[in-house]
Amino acid sequence: MFDKPMSFSGKHADYLRHLAPSKKAGESKIQRSTIFASNIEVLKAAPVVGFLFERMGEVDHDNSITANTIFLEQVLKIQKSLMQNYRLIMLLHDKDKTSVDERINRAFRYDRQPDKRSYGDKVFEQYMLGGIEVLYEELIEGKDSLDEDVRGVAEFLMTCQNMFGSKFSMDRIDQLCSNSRI
């Protein structure tokens, strides 16, 4: 699993370009500062955000937007994180409708059985796309300046704190920010 390039089309390709800086030479517009340093950082966070915000997206096949492909070497760098997120989501998705045994099977036992794993792969992809949508809407959409970007991040963190209460620590976020390179 997670051993091939990942390609995003339509609005999700565009959203990724806004969430992370473009490395593409000759980019036509000036890239604004972004929250994420690269697409792979977005991909590590997106499935969890999609799951926590209960947002499942659908593949957008708008061919007028250039696809955004994350090459295999980049996917392999985050393969462990993607696998961990996949397993957690499989364990928690549909917990009220699906037996714990079946959720364990989806999380751990179907890795080498693509036909049985296809349901889990689709669910994970939908949460990833939904997470990309949430991140774009909360952090980018409608913001035209650095001040608005900063306000958007602060509002997003407050939304998370309100949703998750004491489980979400602003002190922990402050610590992570001070340790970051930004």
Domain span holding position 164: 143-182
CA distance 60 to 34: 23
Task: Reduce the DSSP state of residue 113 to 3 states and report it.
Answer: coil
Domain tally, the chain: 2
The label of the residue with tokens 């760098």 reads: 77
83/170 same-domain check: no
125/167 same-domain check: no
CA distance 87 to 104: 8
Tell me the per-residue pLDDT of 13-36, one tens digit each, with 9 for 90 and over.
999 998 887 655 445 444 556 678
Q: Tell whether 172 is covered by a domain.
A: yes
136/158 same-domain check: no
**Model pLDDT, residue 25:** 42
Task: Reduce the DSSP state of residue 139 to 3 states and report it.
Answer: helix
Q: Tell whether 92 is covered by a domain.
A: yes
CA distance 112 to 38: 29
pTM of the model: 0.82
123/165 same-domain check: no
Burial class (CB in 10 A: 0-12, 13-18, 19+), 20: buried
Tell me the per-residue pLDDT of 77-95, one tens digit each, with 9 for 90 and over.
999 999 999 999 999 999 8
83/133 same-domain check: yes
Cα dist from 38 to 13, 41, 126, 165, whole Å: 13, 5, 21, 29
63/135 same-domain check: yes
| Residues 110, 32 contacting (CB under 8 angstroms) | no
153/182 same-domain check: yes
59/136 same-domain check: yes
172/105 same-domain check: no
Tell me the per-residue pLDDT of 109-160, one tens digit each, with 9 for 90 and over.
998 898 999 999 999 999 999 999 999 998 888 888 778 877 888 888 888 7
Q: Tell whether 111 is covered by a domain.
A: yes
134/165 same-domain check: no
Residue 10, token pair as written in the block: 């339509």
The DSSP annotation for 2-16 comes to: --S-EEE-HHHHHHH
Q: Tell whether 1 is covered by a domain.
A: no
